[in-house]
Structure 1
């Protein structure tokens, strides 16, 4: 059995002049090594071969398609940059396939889109070979792209363990619940921002009635009414004062009413005035 030596430390008593202390002492331990995981080694090698093949295919396709696009009298930089889109399109779809490998329903769309991008890539390589009077080379280059895609699909199918129907349904339900929570959080943030903007605009109209669409009616309303301010809580007294000031409320009585509404019903006038002076 194979082993390896590992250096460790332990506390041992050490006495000098009758006084004992615990000091650290290094020692070696022989730890048995687990057997080689040949399945993992083979899978790692297969993935490395696929990665190298994809890199070669990207370089070849970009070179061929870039040379094809240069014939349209565009800049070389623009032509070769656009050429990378042919290969990167189906490679991104391959990455999405890997992420959705345990969900047959979700993996269908990226796989189908990847086939479309791959077909466009292979067609462009063939057209370049035909225009360069070397159609055979163009076909070989296209076959390289198709072979890399096929090799990746085989590795992916081997790696994606099939799930039973109940487990698949459980994962789908759980993913839906988490997605709903994320969507609800985003929607609440949007609604909060919209409510804050609306409250600020209403406060600005009350403090500046001449900018409103109906100055006569707007002047009949109280100039600073904290009830139109954001009423969500809880807030501290200082936060409530800051919110009122940011919405244009400067009257101490109006600010006090707002603070008592959203922060502290027993807030003192002196405390609110102090925060107003420091704001």
Structure 2
């Protein structure tokens, strides 16, 4: 069955707020004056959508993994007891749910999309969509950095490269391009930027370092999702960016350090505090 849907006549935007969350949308279908369908959906951050009936509820029954955790203290304890690195611990959990081939392919796909966002961002000029007409800056910043790369003696110049990588991805998101929601679209530039820094300035990313980085980053991100929030609508822009910084810092620590549990400490430090048992 097909229905015509003239958008200019059937789409009404209301200025009032929904009660449960800032990012909400109510869909109502009418036949004349009779409501034949109505449903309210909320975007709660990190790409997750829930309807009004299930808002605030657990997603599903807990999954069975070898090393369950709900806090940084749990992760650190598992690492100390098993001698596994944090990425090794997360790998054991993932392999209880997916095959090794599926996991490796997924991680490779994530990195491919991240790299693609960086490449498009640093090669695209123009103005970002929207009434503010904000100009893209990543491409110009890249040209400047490339021209200075062989002459600069500033040891902090690498920070400009990281900023450029992150800006490229953020501009892709602002333009409606393809990005990885990690942890959110609003803070999607930080995790790929730090991984791109590792790839360019430390050593080329391979399957092993990619897995270690992303698995540890996901572990730290899950702690925030379980115990606080990753949503800018709930904790503000500083909150979601802080989560992304924690995830990236922990992932980087794991790729350059092999001490079990090191990523837990590094992730907590980057959010401005020592890791607590509830974060």
**TM-score higher than 0.5 here?**
no
- More relative contact order, 1 or 2 (CA 8 Å, 6+ apart): 2
TM-score, normalised to structure 2, is 0.22
